[in-house]
């Protein structure tokens, strides 16, 4: 895929879209593509998480504590790893032949440092999500106690 194709794919990802085209171009240039065959593991529970992955082609099963989701083209796997050092809470496995764009946390942080406005937009979005999650938890707790 070309850099323009990668930028177009990154624009489909809600978290990435917040960064704007110039930051996405820097991510596309600095990221790497990885190919996987069916059954290959992208990462396992407990692995050091130093990157997020945007699915280009194919699909990946992401399993965490008995729950699973299927991530297809345009999905961001491991979003939190772009922001903080952590261990992987899940395992991601290719369900078919596919490819991902690997965005290293160090690259993502350099892009945010070079574009303070993009960093603020991302911060605001994450704050909104956190607030919504807290509200959802309070509502669920209220329903359980009645």
35-80, pLDDT tens digit by residue? 999 999 999 999 999 999 999 999 999 998 889 999 999 999 999 9
Confidence check: pLDDT of 140 > 80: no
Q: What is the pLDDT of residue 146?
A: 62
- Domains along the chain with CATH numbers: 3-115 (2.60.120.10)
Q: What is the pLDDT of residue 122?
A: 87
Residues of the chain above pLDDT 70, percent: 98
Q: What is the pLDDT of residue 109?
A: 95
Q: What is the pLDDT of residue 54?
A: 98
Report how far apart, in Å, the C-alpha atoms of 80 and of each of 36, 77, 96, 128 are. 22, 9, 25, 15
Report how far apart, in Å, the C-alpha atoms of 119 and of each of 17, 53, 141 are. 12, 19, 33
Q: What angle do CA 112, 121, 99 make, to 5 degrees?
A: 60
Query: Structure pTM?
Result: 0.86
Per-residue confidence at 27, pLDDT binned at 50, 70, 90? Answer: very high
Confidence check: pLDDT of 133 > 70: yes
């Amino acid at each position: 895929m070309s850099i323009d194709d990668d930028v177009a794919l990154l624009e489909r990802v809600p978290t990435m879209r917040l960064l704007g085209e110039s930051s996405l171009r820097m991510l596309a240039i600095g990221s790497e593509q990885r190919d996987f065959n069916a059954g290959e593991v992208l990462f396992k529970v407990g692995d050091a998480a130093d990157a997020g992955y945007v699915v280009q082609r194919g699909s990946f099963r992401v399993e965490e504590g008995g729950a699973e989701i299927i991530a297809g083209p345009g999905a961001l796997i491991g979003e939190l790893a772009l922001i903080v050092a952590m261990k992987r809470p899940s395992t991601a496995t290719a369900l078919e032949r596919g490819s991902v764009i690997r965005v290293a946390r160090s690259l993502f942080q350099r892009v945010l440092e070079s574009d303070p406005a993009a960093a603020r937009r991302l911060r605001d979005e994450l704050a909104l999500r956190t607030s919504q999650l807290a509200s959802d938890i309070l509502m669920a707790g209220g329903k359980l106690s009645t």
